[in-house]
């Protein structure tokens, strides 16, 4: 009935998305593509200069008390690239490869992605240079809260809305939301997306990016005149995005012949059993309804309703780390 909150680090922090590039300077690599598009648009020189520079770049030092009793200082970044269309939107990643240039590039891409589908948002991105796989749950929470406090001035539903990214998830977003809410003096659920459903998160959010990948792939096949049924697919990355995309494409009739993540790759020309490959993924707990609680505990419906509501409120408190 309640979400399992006592999870080991490897179950809280997962490599949800593989790193996307190895180019020496990701920002300039992105801008090379921007320059070509700007030239084709005959973009005014003034606007070109404006759009080539991020609105705001924040670099912060985040001292964290480690479980060993020592203090480590982690460097974090938050970039708001452009907010002319609306509040900045973009994830926060925890990774040893985080650099300001990478965060700038990702923030720019968020700007273009929101604009190309005509969403009223600007682009942002954030990251902390750390190795979350080597950190305990408590250390990750303390780092998240310190980083959130350091960039607090830019955050807000009408200014900058973070989301999960590489090595961050709904639990991390719960910590961000709780830290921001504490500073504001009241609960502000809209300060992040990708938070737990129990805290106002959206059903289907975790699967949304992978589902989008599946839909885009089907449209590309249609454009190329290829049939979905039997088309062979290789999926690079098998976290929240790749695993969902592989599962949905397989259900559409594609043959998934290769999957990989940062640790290994697997190829089978006859096709991979995706449900079997997904067997290691954590199972989601389901919420029992009032009737089920009533039958289970042999109580009346009113008492069962109290039990369910109290459980849900208590779960939110635990998710926000009050008892951590």
List active site positions.
125
Contacts of 26 (CB under 8 A, 6+ apart): 101, 102, 104, 105, 106
CA distances (Å), origin 178, targets 36, 79, 204, 316 = 42, 21, 22, 10
**Tokens 């006592």 sit at which residue?**
6
Contacts of 200 (CB under 8 A, 6+ apart): 189
Sheet holding 122-129, edge to edge: 56-65, 71-82, 122-129, 88-95, 160-164
């Amino acid at each position: 009935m309640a979400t399992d909150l006592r999870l080991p680090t490897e179950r809280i922090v997962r490599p949800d998305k593989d790193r996307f590039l190895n180019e020496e300077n990701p920002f300039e690599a992105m801008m090379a593509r921007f320059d070509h598009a700007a030239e084709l648009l005959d973009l005014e020189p003034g606007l070109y200069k404006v759009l080539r520079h991020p609105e705001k770049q924040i670099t912060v030092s985040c001292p964290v008390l480690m479980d060993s009793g020592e203090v480590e200082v982690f460097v974090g970044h938050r970039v708001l690239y452009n907010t002319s269309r609306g509040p900045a939107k973009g994830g926060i990643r925890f990774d040893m490869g985080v650099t300001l240039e990478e965060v700038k590039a990702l923030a720019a891409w968020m700007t273009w992605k929101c604009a190309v589908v005509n969403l009223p948002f600007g682009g942002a991105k954030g990251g902390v240079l750390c190795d979350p796989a080597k950190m305990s749950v408590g250390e990750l929470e303390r780092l998240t809260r310190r980083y959130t406090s350091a960039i607090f001035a830019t955050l807000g539903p009408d200014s900058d809305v973070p989301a999960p990214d590489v090595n961050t998830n709904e639990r991390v977003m719960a910590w961000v939301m709780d830290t921001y809410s504490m500073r504001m003096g009241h609960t502000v659920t809209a300060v992040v997306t990708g938070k737990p459903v129990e805290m106002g998160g959206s059903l289907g959010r975790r699967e949304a990016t992978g589902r989008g990948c599946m839909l885009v792939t089907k449209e590309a096949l249609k454009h190329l005149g290829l049939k979905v049924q039997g088309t062979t697919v290789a999926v690079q990355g098998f976290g929240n995005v790749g695993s969902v995309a592989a599962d949905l494409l397989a259900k559409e009739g594609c043959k998934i012949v290769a999957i990989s993540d940062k640790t290994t790759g697997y190829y089978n020309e006859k096709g991979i059993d995706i449900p079997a490959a997904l067997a290691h993924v954590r199972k989601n707990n389901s919420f029992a309804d009032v009737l089920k609680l009533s039958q289970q505990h042999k109580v009346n419906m009113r008492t069962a309703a109290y039990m369910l509501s109290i459980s849900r409120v208590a779960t939110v408190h635990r998710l926000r780390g009050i008892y951590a």
